[in-house]
Copies of this chain bind each other. A is one copy, B any other.
Amino acid sequence: MKYQHIVHIVSERIKNDEYNFQYALPNQQELATEFGVSRMTVKKALDILKEEGVIYSSRGLGTFVVQHEKLQKISTYQKKQQTKQFSYLKQMLSFEKKHPHQLLQQQLAISAQQNVYAATFIRYRNERPYALEHWFIPEQVIPGITQETLEQDLYHYIEFELGLKLGDTSYTISAVVANEVDKLHLNCTDNHPILKVEKLSFLRTGCPFLYRICHYQAAMKSYQFFDAIKKNK
């Protein structure tokens, strides 16, 4: 795929400040000539970089690099996450197969008669309790799950053992106070704030296969995401 190569090269040039926000990039025809491809292929590569938020373009004006600030914020954020060198540990507290209660029936789009694998995990970060997670997986969609599957790599099992393709995950974030189970495992007291994240994962077909309720120690977790307000040109 030639366009991926162009995406990579142009990304590198932006990182190396060969292209920067003060001047327009070479126009599409020049880039096409340089890379020995057609203009449409260049445009496809630039469209991907636009989607990534690295560049933008205006009819009649040209294509420009987005100013450093934004990218810096993202990269420094990621760097912070990496350089802190956290050690993570996931430990299973319970594992069972049961019938779903009403919330699960609704979220996983199944009936009360179908079985659901239910597991509870506690996560540690640098040996400190960090999150309490409840996982629910419909047996009909992802059959043959064992305790080991969940302790190792569920996604690998789904993709390579079952041959299913993964889709998107929906995140719903809210703030709550610690409940009794949280207080027991997350080492916190009354009225301790909790960042509650409900994650619903789908196969590529749109079938929901995993519902997670995750309670994070408020001080140890935040979520960041980007949102395009308007797509006006």
Contacts and interface: CB of A to CB of B under 8 A. Distances in A.
Interface of A: 21, 53, 56, 64, 66-71, 73-74, 109, 155, 159, 165-177, 190-191, 193-196, 200-202, 204-208, 216, 218, 221-230, 232
Minimum-distance CB pairs A-B, first 6: A67-B206, A66-B206, A191-B191, A175-B175, A175-B218, A174-B222
B191 A64 contact: no
Q: What is the total number of copies of this protein in its complex?
A: 2
13 contacts: A56-B167, A166-B229, A168-B229, A170-B226, A172-B222, A172-B224, A173-B223, A174-B223, A175-B176, A175-B194, A175-B216, A177-B193, A193-B194
Contacts of A193: 175-177, 191, 193-194, 218
Contacts of A225: 170-171, 225, 227
A172 B17 CA distance: 28
Nearest to A172: B224
A172 to B, nearest CB: 5
Contacts of A155: 229
B223 A201 contact: no
Given A66-B204, A169-B226, A169-B227, 6 more contacts: A53-B168, A56-B205, A69-B109, A159-B232, A173-B224, A193-B218
Contact of A195 (B68, B174, B216, B228): B174
A216 B196 CA distance: 14
Contacts of A201: 229
Contacts of A216: 175
Contacts of A170: 70, 73-74, 224-226
Nearest to A201: B229
B174 A70 contact: no
Contacts of A208: 69-70
Contacts of A166: 229-230, 232
Contacts of A218: 174-176, 193
